[in-house]
Amino acid sequence: MPRERAARIETKEKIVNDQLQKFMFSAAPVRGEIVSLRNTWQEVLTRRQYPAPVRTVLGEMMAACALLSANLKFDGTLIMQILGEGPVRMLVVQCSSDLSMRATARLAEGVETVADDLSLAELVNVNGRGRCVITLDPANKQPGQQPYQGIVPLNGEDGALKSISEVLEHYMHHSEQLDTRLWLGANEDRAVGMLLQKLPGDGGIVPHPHELDADTWERVCTLGGTLTREELLEQEPETLFRRLFWQENVQHFEPATTRFLCSCSREKVGSMLKMLGREEVDSVIEERGHVEVHCDYCNQRYEFDPVDVAQLFATPGLSEGVSPAADQRH
């Protein structure tokens, strides 16, 4: 029988802004993580205004991306994309191994708002062709090495997957062969999540086979299943952990901090323009008088006038010295 949650008086606890806590169950090859994003999530929302259901999905993806990135065994980036057909065409979250993050969503052309009650399938999987793409991109790739990419449809064996949690559990089961459970939530204040994962074999954590508790995985998943979205969003991670797993023997690791960081720069935009070619860039200059590029992630505006463009193509690297345009946020 699953254990009842501890009924105890909760003391007032310090609010956790941006923290990821790893833990390991000592009697079984099961690991877990809890993440709470406040400032990191707010940095995304102050740069872009998203309809409520889009904001919820993007926030849940941010929490999930942090949880999955925390287990990267290399220096690099995990990129999570939801691509499909519907009012929303793309949602993207990037998280580096140091837990620096950025995120963006793109609506279909002409769509400015969507109904508050739209489901994930109605947002991105209207025709059943939506997909989730996970890319693992090492920072120091060997010559010829390509990023690893896994793709799963937004449909499971029983039809359309209903949540980001279901999508990623489906992905981890089929692409990584790891039993994984996720609980995610997001609102205008926080993006939060909890992950439980059953490791292959004994996970390298149990010194003596007779100490294994074969029921741990089923038990902790049952306890996690009692967690509501409201509770996940309202309570601090320490409170949630204590309520759920107070009877378990658990090893905690040093918490890690997340942050918002966009890697765009004027130099990178200049390099992109040079890849387009002088003829293409000059055609934009002729039509508009300048070239303007907005970063989808941080909404930074980069403007190149005719003089900037001439310098860009005349001397490599000279664009780095051109002053950046002022920020424009909406």
Q: What is the CATH number of the domain that holds 96?
A: 3.55.30.10
In a domain, 2, yes or no: no
Question: Which pLDDT score is estimated for 213?
Answer: 63
Structural tokens at position 276:
């387009």
On the question of pLDDT at 224 being above 50, the answer is yes
Structural tokens at position 181:
């459970």
Question: Which pLDDT score is estimated for 163?
Answer: 93
Domain of 208?
Answer: 18-260
Distance CA 245, CA 241 (A): 6
Question: Which pLDDT score is estimated for 271?
Answer: 85
Residue 119 sits in the same domain as residue 163: yes
Distance CA 261, CA 96 (A): 10
Q: Per-residue pLDDT averaged across 196-204, rounded?
A: 74
Q: Which residue has the higher pLDDT, 99 or 200?
A: 99
What is each CA distance from 311 to 164, 278, 288, 300, in whole angstroms? 46, 11, 18, 22
Residue where a domain terminates, one of 260, 282, 311: 260
Mean pLDDT for the chain?
A: 84
Please state, as a whole number, how many other Cβ atoms lie within 10 Å of the Cβ of residue 174: 12
Which of 44, 47, 76, 68 is CA-nearest to residue 57?
44
Which pLDDT tens digit goes with each residue over 111-131?
888 899 999 999 999 888 899
Are 325 and 303 contacting, i.e. CB atoms less than 8 angstroms apart? yes
Question: Which pLDDT score is estimated for 63?
Answer: 97
Q: What is the pTM of this model?
A: 0.83
On the question of pLDDT at 211 being above 70, the answer is no
In total, how many domains does the chain have?
2
Confidence of residue 212 (pLDDT cuts 50, 70, 90): low
Residue 30 sits in the same domain as residue 115: yes
Residue 226 sits in the same domain as residue 302: no
Structural tokens at position 73:
């065994």
Task: Write the CATH number for 272.
Answer: 3.90.1280.10
Question: Which pLDDT score is estimated for 15?
Answer: 62
In a domain, 297, yes or no: yes
**Buried (b) or exposed (e) across 80-99, using 16+ Cβ within 10 A?**
bbbbbebbbbebbbbbbbeb
What is each CA distance from 298 to 93, 235, 281, 294, in whole angstroms? 12, 29, 23, 8
Residue 102 sits in the same domain as residue 56: yes
Give me the sign of the Cα torsion angle 89, 56, 126, 113: negative
Question: Which pLDDT score is estimated for 210?
Answer: 40
Give residue 82's identity as a one-letter amino acid code: I
Residue 84 sits in the same domain as residue 178: yes
Distance CA 187, CA 132 (A): 22
Q: Which residue has tokens 């090859």?
A: 29
In a domain, 242, yes or no: yes
Which of 208, 213, 185 is CA-nearest to residue 55?
185
Region of poorest pLDDT, from 55-69, 110-124, 192-206, 301-315: 192-206
Percentage of the chain with pLDDT > 90? 47
Q: Per-residue pLDDT averaged across 249-278, rounded?
A: 88
Question: Which pLDDT score is estimated for 10?
Answer: 41
Residue 218 sits in the same domain as residue 96: yes
User: At residue 72, what are phi and psi to the nearest 5 degrees?
Assistant: -65, 135
Residue 171 sits in the same domain as residue 276: no
Are 166 and 181 contacting, i.e. CB atoms less than 8 angstroms apart? no
Q: Which residue has the higher pLDDT, 317 or 288?
A: 288
Residue 76 sits in the same domain as residue 140: yes
Residue 72 sits in the same domain as residue 32: yes
